[in-house]
Structure 1
């Protein structure tokens, strides 16, 4: 879990000390999920535990490396961060003398990677975590995009969620300067999204009135969700961030270099599998060299991945682009 501090949320060259990491994102999601669960009368501890476990299998450098590992693992079972998170808590972590894993309840493990069968839906607590993750991504990626300077605040004037939130702030805080207004938008937007989700989710729960977790799963549809109108507004914001931030040339360049680092390491360790961590080496006979290497690489932080690449494979120019500069 502590290693998530050194795995970036959205890789940014020269990102400084205050960029969000997987750890800060996970803590924010857990807090939001717990608040949602409390408002809806769900199991707060379960929602928080699911949120804290969901990103344990996330590889270094964010989503592009996840896609790279999945491509490299074709024919060997593929790779997905949710399934890898489940693998971490069930198999890879060694905290007890007589069995592997973290001894989590079935409900927590199913929430980390639902894997539901046809006609059923994830637990309500798992749905709350999904929604909290969506809120965090929208608000905090927007905040990071503005802080990085890659996104011009003026470009957001056509985005309905931004306009609504900003105008509400200006009505209530007439003396705020543009900089403080911009910084406050993310907080207010998160509150706005959560309030909408609570209203809609309460209405859905009252309509279906599931008496147990089994009944909620048998309904076969998501009950913890936004209103249709808010869902449309969120998709609009996410599309905007996709075009103007996630696919910004600077981000794309860093993503490409990060993928090169992981692919280079994957290929190197295929030639020299004895150099991966001892616990991973011991799994080669049972699960194959590719899976053992994948487990090892997905557990690296951004920093250790760059160190391994520099030691075994890399060029200074490639690593320089991936090294955040001090703020």
Structure 2
């Protein structure tokens, strides 16, 4: 924890606690314990073989959900430290924010959402909350990880107040209110913006590595062009594979400093005396400046056109969607093909309970396991 915590930071000494009371146990703060529970969770380990854009077998050096989460955590801690916030809470939220993602990135989420439409749809933020409050089974006394209220709040609404929460978040809120109508803590907001910073920059890195575009092409973007010019002026003419990281680290540094400056400006205007003032604010307190937000959007638009809709990515996404659609259809229609623990949860074939169990089962899969399960269920030459 930062020893220079500001008054509007989240205080571990004033945590609202856990749904199931537990003794303090050791010298760790509540948020340090949350972080450690997340790191030891099965869902966290699976992130190693869950990808964002590239399927796991397309290259060992492309980001996975695990490496992305670690990068988000590093950026979140840096911003939290600059602002005098609780670094451990920001880190815990950064490490947990992708636990609910299914295999195959956005293609997998789109497929599950389509299959679950009759039953409320599929939302990866809600699935992250399901993972840490229900699906993890590491403790004998309760389902889930029994995280603190502040960590659960941040997972549920790190992107802002939830006026129309997904079904599971709404259901959980009725049992254990997370004050869905307000903003989350500044630490949760830091984790959310760290996700944006890491996401765009590592996709730029991966896109350059995959040769979807060149450094000269990204130089046309305002923020990237400035960082590239500065990198060239500092290191001289070096190969692109060395120049790209120099550019990207400069972009990350500028974005982090921009967030810190804009947040300080908003805090000076709001003058919050506590984290409750941050929650009650009419807008988020952690944000990019208007100039940086526009530059960030330009990068997003470039990546959408040149990477996320690249023909090679389109092919991979189409195949991935078909894999999950077929898995869902087969298992929803015949839950007796599920492993015993999941069969017990699923109940009657075709029912809403069965759909939810199948969705949870598939969402927990890695890319590798989903492809293997698909082969086991469709190839008569492979034993079940």
- Taking structure 2 as the reference length, the TM-score comes to 0.79
Whether the 8 Å contact between 2:55 and 2:104 is mirrored in structure 1 is no
Residue 167 in structure 1 maps to residue 212 in structure 2 = no
**1 CA distance for matches of 2:79 and 2:343?**
42
Structure 2 gaps, min length 5: 1-43, 164-180
Structure 2 vs 1, CA of residues 175 and 152 (structure 1 numbering), >3 Å: closer, same or farther? closer
In structure 2, the partner of 1:136 is 198
1:101 to 2:144 alignment: yes
Q: CA deviation at 1:280?
A: 2.3
Distance 1:154 1:101, change over 3 A: same
Conserved 8 A contact 1:4-1:56: yes
1:236-294 deviation line (CA, Å, top 9, x unaligned): 11101100111001101100100000001001101221222333222224961000000
Moved more, 69-78 or 251-260: 69-78
Which of 66, 72, 94 is equivalent to 1:29? Answer: 72
1:208-240 per-residue CA deviation (whole Å, 9 max, x = no partner) reads 121112110101211111110010011011101
Q: Which runs of 5+ in 1 are unaligned?
A: 317-327
Contact 1:57/1:86, CA 8 A, preserved across alignment: yes
In the other structure, the counterpart of 2:94 is: 51
Sort the Cα spacing of 1:158 and 1:275 in 2 relative to 1 into closer, same or farther, 3 A.
same
Aligned to 2:58, the other structure's residue is in SS state coil
The correspondence of residues 72-111 of structure 1 with structure 2, limited to 5 A, is: 72-111=115-154
Q: Is the 8 A contact 2:103 2:367 kept in 1?
A: yes
Partner of 1:309: 374
Q: 1:1-327 residue pairs with structure 2 within 5 A?
A: 1-12=44-55, 15-114=58-157, 116-117=161-162, 120-285=182-347, 288-313=353-378
1:4-24 deviations in Å (ceiling 9; x for gaps):
000012125862211100000
- State the Cα deviation string for residues 142-181 of structure 1 (Å, max 9, x = none): 0000001122333223211111000111222235344421
May I ask how many residue pairs the two structures share in their alignment? 316
Q: What SS does the aligned partner of 2:331 have?
A: helix
* Shift in Å, 1:96: 1.5
Whether the 8 Å contact between 1:277 and 1:296 is mirrored in structure 2 is no
Give the direction of change, closer, same or farther, for the CA distance of 1:45–1:241 in structure 2 (3 Å limit): same
DSSP-derived class of the 2:90 partner: helix
SS in 2 for 1:11: coil
Instruction: Indicate conservation of the 8 Å contact 1:280/1:295, yes or no.
Output: no
Task: Give the number of the structure with larger relative contact order, counting CA–CA contacts within 8 Å between residues 6 or more apart.
Answer: 1
